[in-house]
Structure 1
Amino acid sequence: MDENIKILIVDDDEVDRMAVRRALQKGSLNITLCEAENSAAALEKLFSTPNNQNFDVILLDYYLPDSNGLNLIEQINELNLSIPLIVLTGQGDEEIAVEIMKAGAADYLSKSRVSPQSLIQTISSAIRINRAEKAAKLANQRLRATNELLMQKNRELKLQQQQIQLQNIQLQEASRLKSEFLATMSHELRTPMNAIMGFSQLLLRQYPDPLSEQQLNIVGRIFNNSQNLLEMINELLDFSKIEAGKFELNFREFDLDKLVCLTVEELRSLAVQKKIELKTDINLNNPTVFQDYSCLKRILINLLSNAIKFTNQGGVRVKVWEFESENKIAIAVEDTGIGIEKDNFKRIFEAFRQADQSISRAHTGTGLGLAITDSLTKMLQGTITLESEVGVGSVFCVKIPRKAYV
């Protein structure tokens, strides 16, 4: 040990103190020595303000004029002083030394065997053990503090988890109520809307009486707006069914070529009104697929309607082809429309979201078309991707298995 070691010798025998002092002086330790003749003097040197020292070790004679070593050890222990005590015993006092060590002494050494080597070795060992015990005690205290902190954090985390679970339950209930409301509202609105469209069609046929040109124009607007509103209602109804997990699939065999051509012809009037081209490019060795007919048709209608809506010049093309040894089918809807910014690629597939969310947007709608398309594509065990450039156009590509796994 290179540091200075502060030692307190407590012994009423001057000769014994001198022997210890000489042994320490001959040793290799760098020491500061302090002496006391009895327990009272030792306590005074330990705790009085002028002589208050932080001793590294105490060498203690068992027999003292005013007390014994055992009493002094008990007093020091009561004061919670963590200083190693080495008991200096006389000839034949080994049993007493053992009792003192049980009371808290670090070691004992017979006065008759005091030598520089034995004394230095005993002191060094006692100091190392004491410091190790202090370090272990401090580590345990820190560990307990850490454990208490972790337990507190764990309790807080459990409380947060309970709150999150409660919020999730509330959100699920709110979502369920919302879906039920949308389904009920959509269903209830379809009946009067169908009636409005039916009466409008009768009037457009000029039944029972002919209408003026202005009246025909007004009724035509009523019918067109009613048709648009019915499409929105149908989208809400479909979305609520999908969200509630009540959208039923009906897988069967059908001719994909015919489905695509039929859907394109149904929407051709929209392209004619905007004076844009609507073409198909179907390249199938085997047009037969095993999928949900209505679901796939709805996907085509949504993608084609969007493409026509956002294309003012040029045209829209539907491409269909096979890949992966004809086990999968790809359907791409290409347009030369306004295009979509990359930042909006993911957003447009979210429910009630459009690339343009402003009130003054040029194109109306519920913002559910692509969300429904994405959900339906996943239900058909497929994927949908988007490539687009602003001012150039967009390509939505749906890839599905030729045969769905039921």
Structure 2
Amino acid sequence: MRKSLLKTPPSGLSSRPARPAAAALVAVGVGRKRQSERSNADGYRGIAPVGANGADPAAPVNTVENAENVEIDPAIRLRLLEALVSRADIAECAQAGLQWLEETLGVSRSLCMVRPIGETSLVVVGTHGMSSEVHASFSVSLDDWNNPLVSAVAGRQRLFFPAAHSAADRKRRPATPFGDAPFQVLPFGATRFSDEPVGVLLLGIDVPVRTNLQWFTSVVGQKLDQILRQDMLAEGDRRQGRERGLLYSIINAVTDPILLTDTEGRLLIANTRALTLFTATEEESEGRRSAVRMNNMLLSSALSSKAIEETGAARRELLLVNPIDGSDLVFELLSTVTEDPRHGSGVVSILRNVTDLRRASEEIEEGYRKMRMAEAQARAESDRLNLIIDSVADPIVVTDAAGGTSLMNEPAERLFTLPPHATAMEQRWVQANDAHFSSFIAGMLVSADRRRIGEIGLLDARTGEAMPVEAIAGKILSDRGELTAVVTILHDRREAIEKARLYEQLKQASDELERKIQAATADIAQQNELLRRQAIELEQASALKSQFLANMSHEFRTPLNAMLGYTSMLLQGVAGAVDVPIKRQLSRIESNGRHLLTIINEILDISRIEAGRMPLRSKLAITIDVPKDLPPLWSDRQKVKQILLNLLSNALKFTHQGSVKVSVRPNSRERVLQLSVSDTGIGIAPADQEKIFEDFRQLDNTPTRPYGGTGLGLSICRRLAQMLDGRITVQSELSRGSTFSLILPIKGRK
């Protein structure tokens, strides 16, 4: 029994063909109201549920059974059988059946679909009352288990689909050429050849057919299946004939003998070349017939059961006689046992003429033996040559007559071969070396000279350093004067060039130095005497001026700074409150005193400028770091400004290079505000960090100190900070800089 081509339902579906959910189905013979009897209020609800006997529950059971038992008149059946017997074409047979349905049951629109043997689709083979385009446009895949037609064919169920009146009705119906019109599905029954469904009938009718059509579907199905199988057999015979003809054409096109023999050695099939070796007619010469008999005997021996069992399908040699000229022929025999259902076991043999191949193989073997001897000699000579070349420190390159490199030693490989994982730069260096060397060799090959010396500009392939070399090349000629190779030795000239360059530079420097020494000796003697006299005069004048300035600076600024300091303290109320008239007079004293101090400083600055000792601090960078979200600070604006200006003045005074930074940082935990002035100046030793806050105290009290001042600035700043309920701290390191911080409490407005 043939295996079913209908695939099993998808996972989760019953193996029994289920009634599809896409459309309402009913068995043929179910009682049903006509279209005119349906109430408009009911709407489209499909077919009423099927009863236990496949009938409408509202209809009497006996009425349905009687309807199903309605038989067709035997004369009408005979007319169908006569129409089917006289037709051998499947389309004509299907058309005759559909015509009979119209004449007998009044079915005006119908189509017949069959499943061709070996296919998985239902195709239209006949229509009645429908367009001819249905043949090409409509088919049903048997793999589509969601299609109710597939379920009907697989389960041999007769289904009826009423007319569709809405979009929901159309979604539950399978797509058919009937569109929205009602139609009935009648599957064909099983045949005597197969249990597979042959096909299905689609009848365009308004109500289900109540006539018993089982006989009709069985007879038409048997006839359609018979025609399908006859067509398949006829097509198989035609295909077999074509394949046989193609087989004979192929084997006759092969120049090697091909033959098929039975187990007793009788020839069954042979191509033209095999017939020439193993067959002869009575009209041919005795010598040819004798050669053919000899060949058949040798072939039978080679194809004996024992020989085949011992060698299997391996290749063997077979010696035959040429029936034409009697010469010996050597064939390579490949035999394979095959099974023929009609003739039993047989042997397929292919003979390949290897006579010339055997002769050539012997010649090749002799040549290969001589070549091995020559290779051994060449290998020994090559090893000796490689040993000589590798022992030379200079790069040696051997090129052939075409300019290609055939041999090089290790120093040459470093110039012309890429190292593992070479970079792009190393690749360019090696390519440049190869280009320069190839140009030199090309010039050597085109010249008639047997020896050539030249210079080549190469690069060290590992460092990229320029490497000028001296190339000495010589041609090697054969006994017939033909060029066989060019040997080139490359000598590195970097050391010789460097020595020559250093010698030339040393010679030039020596000559130049000698000339300069001679010229400078006379000039030095003259200048020394002049400088000696000027130095004495300058030392005397400088000593007098320095002594005068030091005395005057000390005499003028010391008492003046004291007066200014005490005046400032009185104005600030350090000794107690001062009346307004007195404060006005003290302010005039302080103003004039500072004016006088400025004049004195300017006089001293003039002397410094003349002496070239006036420092300029124009390269200091001043930065300010003040956050935007500072809390409000209620304090004496003038006092805070005076303290910061004094600290900033000191930072600028004692910083020669670097930067000065002013920053503000709030401390919410201690509720204080820290104003800091940082510099990168000379710094203060830890032992002197408290002394600088004493009155009139300077770390350098010598008359020639480089920094001016009264020594009261930091003392006044500390006292002012204490008056504001704050303090001044200092962090400093010699030669690294200092940071003075004014710390004031954050207080609300009084």
* Same structural fold, with TM-score higher than 0.5 when normalized by the shorter chain: no
User: Taking CA–CA contacts closer than 8 Å with sequence separation of 6 or more, which of the two structures ends up with the larger relative contact order?
Assistant: 1
Q: Which has the larger radius of gyration?
A: 2
More helix per residue: 1 or 2? 1
Question: TM-score normalised by the shorter chain: which range applies?
Answer: 0.3 to 0.5
